[in-house]
Amino acid sequence: MLLSFLFTPYILVLLPLLPVLYWVVPSRTNHDFDDIPGPFLARFSNLWLLYQSRLAQRSLAVDEAHARYGKIVRIAPNHVSIADSDAIQEVYGHGNGFLKSSFYDAFVSTGGHRGMFNVRDRAQHTRKRKIVSNTFSQKSISQFEPFVHSNLELFVKRWDEMAAAQGNAEKYTKLDVLNWFNYLAFDVIGDLAFGAPFGMLEKGADIAEVRTSPTAKPTYAPAIEVLNRRGEVSA
């Protein structure tokens, strides 16, 4: 009986519906979010959010959804976005009971080692948090100031040099500040984490030295571009 049904024309009609049922049925069995507004497709499938991510406009689309629907928006069947500063402690506060979603699994290295950013297990997160807590104490942070200040001085100096090189009386120039803010951030991080800046401010370019070992011949890579691309692919 079953075999005869499988070879009937009816199965050809039902087969395209299987993916739809796979997505829609689970979303309709969870009614916890039914009263939360959001894009219509987002109530039934992750495809709306996937589409926005693929267009590299996820943040803009979610922001527009908040402007239309309010502070709490359903952007996927089991995903709610909250745009309310009063909710920061409730959602992100340590020990509040919330766990990171499977989204963070995409940021785990191939070796499977998790860091503070992508660890989801609460016990592991607590252990890792204790290890680095002293680094972020007020006393430790105040000791970072000289390193940050020296890079900021170079940052301003390079802008002054570019403005002066234009030769106009007002001493101004046009530049993409986003690139320079990235150079500043990377050089500060290099100074704090590795004992020396990457040299991006000095070169005015996205160039970072890479070595496979301390004695190996250096090669160079666009670190900012690599990091940004990895974030886009993971998202």
HEC string of 75-114 equals EECCEEEECCHHHHHHHHCCCCCCCCCHHHHHHCCCCCCC
- Residue with more model confidence, 31 or 104: 104
pLDDT at 12 over 70: no
Residue 70 CB contacts under 8 Å (≥ 6 apart), including other chains? 37
**Measuring CA to CA, which residue among 33, 24, 151 is closest to residue 81?**
33
Contact 54, 66 (CB under 8 A): no
Q: Mean pLDDT throughout 89-101?
A: 83
pLDDT at 115: 87
Q: Which of 12-26, 91-105, 171-185, 203-217 has the lowest mean pLDDT?
A: 12-26
* Burial label, 49 (beta-carbon count in 10 A; 0-12, 13-18, 19+): buried
**What's the rounded Cα separation, in Å, for the pair 148 and 197?**
10
Which runs of E-coded beta strand occur in 71-215?
Answer: 72-76, 79-82, 208-210
The predicted model gives 26-32 an average pLDDT of 65
Kindly tell me if the per-residue pLDDT of 5 is higher than 60. no
pLDDT band of residue 200 (cuts 50, 70, 90) is very high
Q: 37-69 pLDDT, tens per residue?
A: 999 999 888 889 989 988 889 999 999 999 999
